[in-house]
Structure 1
Amino acid sequence: MIYQGRARHPVREVIVHCSATRPSWFHDRPLADKVAEIRRWHVQDRGWRDIGYHWIIDRDGAVMAGRSETEIGAHVAGHNAGTIGVSLIGGHGSGVRDAFADNFTPAQDAALRRLIEAIKGRVGGSMALSGHNQYAPKACPGFTVGTWYAGGAA
Structure 2
Amino acid sequence: MKITRLVVHCSDSPNGRDDSAADIHRWHIGQGWVGIGYHRVIRRDGQVEHGRPDYWIGAHVVGHNSTSLGVCLIGRDQFTDAQMQSLERVIREWKVKYPDAEVCGHCDLDMHKTCPNFDVKSWWSVVSDIDEFNRV
TM range (shorter): 0.7 to 0.9
Q: Deviations over 1:20-57 (max 9, x none)?
A: 1123324xxxx6xx21111011012x111110000000
The answer for the alignment partner of 2:13 in structure 1 is 21
How many residues are aligned here?
126
Alignment equivalent of 1:72, drawn from 32, 57, 60: 57
Determine which of 82, 88, 95 is the counterpart of 1:120: 95
The partner residue of 1:146 within 121, 126, 136 is 121
> SS where residue 64 of structure 2 aligns?
coil
Distance between the aligned counterparts of 2:84 and 2:16, measured in 1? Answer: 18
Give the structure-1-normalised TM-score: 0.77
Identity %, equivalent residues: 40
Residue 42 of structure 1 corresponds to which residue in structure 2? 28
Query: Which amino acid in 2 is paired with 1:38?
Result: I
Shift of 1:122: 2.1
How big is the shift at 1:121?
1.1
Which amino acid in the other structure matches residue 24 of structure 1?
A: G
Secondary structure of the 1:10 match is: coil
In the alignment, residue 86 of structure 2 is paired with which amino acid?
A
Shift of 1:143: 0.4
Cα offset, 1:147, TM superposition = 0.7
Q: Which one of 2, 15, 25 corresponds to residue 10 of structure 1?
A: 2
Distance 2:96 2:36 in 1: 24
CA distance in 1, matches of 2:126, 2:33: 35
TM-score by length of 2: 0.87
